[in-house]
Amino acid sequence: MLMFFIADLARDPNLQAAFAEDPERAMEAAGLSDPQRALLLSRDPKRIAEAIALEVERLPVRSPDPVVNWIGPVLHVTAAYPPAGVVGQRVKLVVYGTFFESAMQCSLIQGQAVIRGVVSNVVTGENSRMDVQFNLGNAPPGWFGVQVKTQKAESTLPRAFEVERARVR
C-alpha cells in the first residue's frame, strides 16, 4: 500500500537512503504499482493525499456504526531476521509484524524475481511472527523485499533481506 510505503519512508533511514539513490528501484522493491510510482514521482501532495485517503477508505472497519469508524487490524511486516543469506543456501527467516493469520504466504521479491517460502510456526494477533524457510539456490544477489499475504491483504517490507554472492575461496 502506498500509505505504508510513505510511512516506512518517513521513519526508516535505510529506505530513505535507498529511495534517494534509486527511487524507481525502492518503489519496485516495495511492490508499488506503476500508477503509484508515477504519483510519488510527481510530488503532487494533493493527489498523493487523495490516493492515501482512498486506501484508508478501503481498510476494514471494526464497527458497522458509521459514527465510530475505527480502522480494523492491518496486516503489516515490521522486521525480518537474519538480514542476509548466501546464494545457493537455505535460510530460515523469522518475520515479524502485525495481524498475521494462520494461513500465510511469504515471499522474497526483487523486481520480477519471486522466491516463495515455506511458512511455519505462525503467531497471530497484534504482535505476530512466523518462521519461513527459503531456498536461495538460484537467487539473484541483491536486496529483496519481504512480502506476506493472506487471502484478503498483503504487506511488503522493502529492502529487508539481502542475498549475498557466495564467497570464492
Domains and CATH numbers, the chain: 2-57 (no CATH), 76-164 (2.60.40.10)
* Distance of alpha carbon 49 from alpha carbon 162, whole angstroms: 32
Residue type, position 24, single letter: E
pLDDT at residue 109 in the model: 95
**168 exposed, middle or buried (CB, 10 Å; 0-12, 13-18, 19+)?**
exposed
* Distance of alpha carbon 97 from alpha carbon 128, whole angstroms: 5
pLDDT at residue 107 in the model: 96
C-alpha grid cell for residue 31? 511492490
Number of Cβ atoms within 10 Å of the Cβ of 142:
16
Q: Is the peptide bond before 82 cis (omega within 30 degrees of 0)?
A: yes
Beta carbons of 129 and 123 less than 8 angstroms apart: yes
Residue type, position 157, single letter: L
pLDDT at residue 143 in the model: 93
Please name which of 128, 40, 19, 121 lies closest in space to residue 76, comparing C-alpha atoms.
Answer: 128
Q: Going residue by residue through the chain (169 aa), what tens digit of pLDDT does each one get?
A: 788 888 888 878 788 888 889 988 888 888 888 888 898 888 888 888 888 888 777 765 554 555 554 556 788 898 999 999 999 999 999 999 988 999 999 999 998 889 999 999 999 988 899 999 999 998 999 999 999 999 888 899 999 999 999 877 6
pTM, two decimals, is 0.59
pLDDT at residue 48 in the model: 87
Angle at 49 between CA 72 and CA 98, to 5 degrees: 30
The CA-atom distances, in angstroms, between 51 and each of 37, 46, 48, 80, 125 are: 12, 9, 5, 28, 28
